[in-house]
Structure 1
Amino acid sequence: MTAAAMAVAPVNEQVLAKFVYAEARLLDEARFDEWLDLFAEDGVYWMPLVPGQTDARLHTSLMHEDKLLLRIRVERLAGARTYSQQPPSRCHHLLQQPDVVEMSPDSGRYQVRTAFHYVETRQDAQTLLAGWATHELVSTPDGLRIAMKRVDLVNSDAAFGNICLFP
């Protein structure tokens, strides 16, 4: 579903689920610029280090990136001199049915939680991650946008190698 189609569709559970699936597909197809467009201007991607972590600013996180940092990461992924991405990493998201946690049409805010398995691969190395993604979405004139995507890994406090893409 395109962002324009989501702009005119009334927001219901099916629209929210389609948004989450479409976001994962953009990542799986390495369409990172289009994925980045799904974020609100003040949107944040957060991957806590500790299970149950409630504050990204007072505690260390695996990732805590605003749209500017996400844009820099996306540009780096496409860079000709990014040798760590030659050949490029690839990923696959396997999602359970998204669960709508909150629907507040009057305020234009929605929260969706989705269990996932994520595989990231580059050459012979493969990483499997599992956890839950919580999307905090906002309605805008351009459609739904991500205010925050929180990714809670089952083993977030484990030692990780590089996570190059976006679980």
Structure 2
Amino acid sequence: MNELAITAFDETALRALVVNEAALLDERRFDDWLALFAEDGRYWVPLLGRLQTDPHSHNSLAYEDKLLLQLRIERLKDPRAHSQHPRSHCQHVLQSPAVEAIAADTATLRTPFLYIEARGEQQLMLAGSYQHTLVRTAEGLRIRQKRVDLLEAGRALPAVQLFI
């Protein structure tokens, strides 16, 4: 890694952003979560998991920009949203985020996770790893891309209501 680039990012702050991002989702603080994304930010869940190299050459479970994420959040907050009766809750269990790469303007971290989503009497558990690409902006660190590589991503999944 480039020594100059390493000093440009505080690795503790990078890891803290990833942990905070999961906590915001667990607390259903979706607007605060969305504010962590850069204006060009993307949320990507590849259908093929780590085997998929880009979101355009193959279908994805999700590939959303900030506008689409905002629309999903508005649906989750709508009291008439049938899928939220009863309301969904989630819990993220993270391993320690590992810094994979640091460049002059971006940093990439990988974080293995367990995700549990509960709604009524039902629970769904997914495992995989996150890859966060973070960028420094005038507002501070922001997420340029959150990639969610699910374990056995190609298998049939029930509907996931919240954000993995």
What TM bracket, shorter-length normalisation? over 0.9
The offset of 1:102, in angstroms, is 1.0
The offset of 1:86, in angstroms, is 1.7
The offset of 1:13, in angstroms, is 1.5
% identical aligned pairs: 49
Equivalent in 138, 143, 150 of residue 147 of structure 2: 150
Quick check: 1:54 aligned with 2:56? no
Q: Which runs of 5+ in 1 are unaligned?
A: 1-9
Quick check: 1:113 aligned with 2:101? no
- TM-score by length of structure 2 reads 0.92
Runs (4+) of structure 1 exceeding 3 A deviation are none
Q: Which runs of 5+ in 2 are unaligned?
A: 1-7
| Contact 2:83/2:161 (<8 A) preserved | no
SS class of match (2:113):
strand
Equivalent in 138, 141, 156 of residue 138 of structure 2: 141
Equivalent in 23, 26, 33 of residue 25 of structure 1: 23
Quick check: 1:68 aligned with 2:67? yes
The alignment yields a C-alpha RMSD, in angstroms, of 1.0
| Contact 2:134/2:142 (<8 A) preserved | yes
Quick check: 1:163 aligned with 2:157? no
SS class of match (1:73):
helix
State the number of aligned residues.
Answer: 156
> For the residues of structure 1 that align with 2:140 and 2:87, how far apart are their CA atoms?
31
1:119-138 mapped onto 2 (5 Å cutoff) = 119-138=116-135
- Partner residue of 1:81? 80
Paired AA for residue 103 in structure 1: I
Paired AA for residue 61 in structure 1: S
